[in-house]
């Protein structure tokens, strides 16, 4: 898809579909309305009146212009809500509404004219491109034949009224490539995305982008004492892969960061098997943290920031066989801590434990992990908001502002040390699960046992990585959540 910024005036743009945004109750006062309405001899005014278009957020109305008018073939009016609440996320959603309408109308050439956010044409252009591109992304890889309705009609998008923004547009397109990679990894079922295929994806990124890659096989993990990760992996017929992908800038790095993603390509629950109704059939998504990690690696490789970044995934499945860990088994992690497994379905934290120990040994300045860790986090924050835990306010705030800029919602949760009492084991250093109340907090406290002094943050993304219904710039299925927050965080000054 070709995307560019042009300064064609609205009434001279003559492609298939022109999308224009209007703030609530202000449509008729706006310059865009005046220009288009007089070019249309008052038709726009009539359409707005007939449709009772108010400009409320989410409202869309489209009209066909008279042939020979020299205008766009169709004009889409999009409501933006109150101007006080205008945001980058509003821009993404409005651009998505325009792109979706153009696609439904089978438009090939599309123009988007929306008000800037805080006079910042660069960030505004980026947000418009993200909203349009991500809303048009469809994953038809697993359909035998592309059905008529599912082909992509939109071929070209022009962003109007943002000045010359070629660099911003290119950057946003690269960010979208990372988000789309993450979505496709999560959408693919567990018989397609396996620990081996995740390692292959990392190898492909390494080759394309000049990153370095180390994949630790089972024996190498054994040598490092990764008993927690390997305990989870031991029932699967697929070999585990511990993936370590590294981006190094050409000069001296300004800082060194590690990003860890939970990479369970399928979570059956193990011997504490997930019963019917628990969502076992969606557990291909239990590698969404690793998908965001690899998606971010792609973008970092393309954008080449000044920071050094380590991308780490302890990839495996959580399965059942004669070799499966028994409830009650005791595993020893690579930092020497022992864990009594009182529930084999709390497997993500076990894989992350060894990944955290590995990351800290790299001597990085900060570690962030992303994991579809607990159903309890979904109970606490719902499907749209990720939980964030960190002992360090500075790191937590940096991630919160990165997420805010990305429009990926997060809410800081407490690391309530007292709750770790529920994880005490009579026989080992700790159990892997505590009581039901505060389940996402005890999971975070468990992870904390495997980080000594490096600033660390944990993101529980179980809710927002998946959506059952199309909304905004997300389509049904994987959302690619986390990629844009990670990229903003890596790109930030500090």
Residue 274 appears among annotated catalytic residues = yes
Q: Does 360 bind Zn ion (CB under 5 A)?
A: no
The catalytically annotated residue of 54, 56, 82, 274 is 274
Considering the complex, what minimum distance in angstroms separates the CB of residue 380 from ligand BES?
11
For 401, 453, 487, the CA distances from 408, given in Å and listed in that order, are 10, 28, 12
**Binders of Zn ion among 462-491, rule CB under 5 A?**
none
Q: Is 35 exposed, middle or buried (0-12, 13-18, 19+ CB in 10 A)?
A: middle
CB of 95 vs Mn ion, minimal distance in Å: 37
Q: Residue 234: phi, psi to the nearest 5?
A: -70, -20
Q: Rounded to whole angstroms, how far apart are CA atoms 361 and 341?
A: 25
Is 460 near ligand BES (CB under 6 A)? no
Count of chain residues binding Zn ion (CB under 5 A): 4
Among 59, 158, 267, 317, binds Zn ion (CB under 5 A): 267
Asked if residue 369 binds Zn ion (CB under 5 A), the reply is no
Query: Which of residues 267, 317, 354, 460 is near Mn ion by CB under 5 A?
Result: 267
Contact flag: residue 327 with ligand BES (CB under 6 A): no
**Cβ proximity to Mn ion, 16 vs 347, nearer residue:** 347
CB under 6 A: which stretch of 177-185, 193-201, 353-361, 369-377 binds ligand BES? 369-377
Q: Which among 262, 349, 409, 431 is annotated as catalytic? A: 349
Lay out the site mask for ligand BES across 264-293 (x = CB under 6 A, - = otherwise): ---x-----------x------x-------
Binder of residue 340, out of Mn ion, Zn ion, ligand BES, none (CB less than 5 to 8 A by kind):
none
Give the integer Cα–Cα distance in Å for 349 and 80: 42
Segment lying near ligand BES (by CB under 6 A), choices 83-91, 170-178, 247-255, 338-346: 338-346
Using CB atoms, what's the residue nearest to ligand BES? 375
Given candidates 245, 376, 428, 430, which one binds ligand BES under the rule CB under 6 A? 376
Q: Catalytic: 452?
A: no
Burial class (CB in 10 A: 0-12, 13-18, 19+), 69: middle
For ligand BES, which is the closer residue by CB, 335 or 442?
Answer: 442
- Report what 433 binds from Zn ion, ligand BES, Mn ion, none; CB cut-off 5-8 Å by kind: ligand BES
Q: Which does 294 bind (CB under 5 to 8 A by kind): Mn ion, Zn ion, ligand BES, none?
A: none
CB-nearer residue toward Zn ion: 59 or 267: 267
CA–CA–CA angle 309, 312, 315 (5° rounding): 160
Rule CB under 5 A: say whether 348 interacts with Zn ion: yes
Query: Which stretch, 113-121, 202-210, 306-314, 344-352, contacts Zn ion (CB under 5 A)?
Result: 344-352
Question: Smallest distance, Å, CB 267 to Zn ion?
Answer: 4
- Measured CA to CA, the distance from residue 415 to residue 399 in angstroms comes to 16
User: Shortest CA distance to 261 belongs to which of 280, 236, 241?
Assistant: 241
**CB closer to Mn ion out of 101 and 234:** 234
- Out of ligand BES, Mn ion, Zn ion, none, what residue 344 binds, judged by CB under 5 to 8 A for its kind, is none
> Does residue number 343 form part of the binding site for ligand BES (CB under 6 A)?
yes
Among 184, 347, 354, 408, binds ligand BES (CB under 6 A): 347
Shortest spacing between CB 372 and ligand BES, in angstroms: 4
| CB-CB contact of 354 with 226 (8 Å) | yes
CA dist., res. 321 & res. 331, Å (int)? 18
The answer to whether 330 touches 265, Cβ cutoff 8 Å, is: no
Binding-site member from 462, 486, 487, 490 for ligand BES (CB under 6 A): 462
Which residues make up the interface to ligand BES (CB under 6 A)?
A: 267, 279, 286, 343, 345-348, 372, 374-376, 433, 439, 462
Which residues make up the interface to Mn ion (CB under 5 A)?
A: 267, 345, 347
Which residues make up the interface to Zn ion (CB under 5 A)?
A: 264, 267, 286, 348
Active site (catalytic) residues: 274, 349
């Amino acid at each position: 898809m070709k995307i560019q910024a042009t300064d064609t005036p609205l009434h001279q743009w003559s492609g298939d579909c022109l999308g224009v945004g209007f703030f609530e109750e202000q449509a008729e006062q706006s310059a865009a309305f005046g220009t288009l309405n007089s070019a249309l001899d008052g038709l726009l005014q009539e359409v707005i009146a007939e449709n009772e278009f108010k400009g409320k957020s989410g409202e869309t109305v489209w009209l066909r212009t008279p042939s020979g008018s020299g205008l766009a073939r169709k004009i889409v009016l999009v409501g933006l809500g109150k101007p006080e609440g205008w945001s980058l996320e509003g821009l993404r959603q409005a651009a998505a509404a325009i792109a979706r309408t153009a696609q439904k109308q089978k438009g090939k050439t599309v123009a988007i004219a929306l008000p800037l956010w805080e006079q910042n044409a660069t960030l505004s252009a980026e947000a418009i491109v993200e909203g349009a591109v991500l809303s048009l992304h469809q994953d038809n890889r697993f359909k035998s034949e592309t059905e008529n309705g599912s082909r992509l009609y939109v071929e070209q998008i022009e962003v109007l009224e943002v000045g010359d923004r070629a660099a911003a547009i290119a950057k946003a397109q690269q960010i979208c490539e990372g988000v789309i990679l993450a979505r496709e990894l999560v959408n693919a079922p567990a018989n397609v995305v396996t620990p081996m295929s995740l390692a292959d994806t990392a190898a492909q990124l390494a080759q394309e982008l000049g990153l370095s890659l180390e994949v630790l096989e089972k024996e190498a993990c054994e040598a490092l004492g990764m008993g927690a990760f390997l305990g989870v992996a031991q029932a699967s017929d697929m070999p585990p892969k511990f993936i370590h992908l590294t981006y190094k800038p050409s000069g001296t790095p300004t800082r060194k960061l590690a990003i860890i993603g939970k990479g369970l390509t399928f979570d059956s629950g193990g011997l504490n098997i997930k019963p019917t109704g628990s969502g076992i059939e969606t557990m291909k998504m239990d590698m969404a943290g690793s998908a965001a990690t690899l998606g971010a690696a792609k973008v970092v490789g393309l954008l080449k920031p000044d920071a050094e970044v380590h991308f780490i995934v302890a990839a495996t499945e959580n399965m059942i066989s004669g070799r499966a860990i028994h409830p009650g088994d005791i595993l020893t992690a690579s930092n020497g801590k022992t864990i009594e497994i009182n529930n084999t379905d709390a497997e993500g934290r076990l894989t992350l434990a060894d990944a955290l120990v590995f990351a800290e040994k790299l001597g990085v300045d900060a570690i962030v992990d992303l994991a579809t860790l607990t159903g309890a986090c979904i109970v606490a924050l719902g499907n749209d908001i990720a939980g964030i835990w960190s002992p360090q306010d500075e790191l937590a705030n940096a991630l919160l502002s990165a997420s805010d800029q990305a429009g990926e919602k997060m809410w800081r949760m407490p690391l309530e040390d007292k709750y770790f009492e529920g994880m005490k084991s009579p026989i080992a250093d700790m159990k892997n699960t505590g009581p039901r109340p505060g389940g996402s907090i005890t999971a975070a406290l468990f992870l904390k046992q495997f980080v000594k002094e490096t600033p660390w943050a944990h993101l529980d993304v179980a809710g927002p990585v998946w959506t059952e219904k199309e909304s905004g710039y997300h389509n049904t299925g994987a959302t690619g959540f986390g990629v844009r927050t990670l990229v903003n965080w890596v790109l930030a000054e500090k």
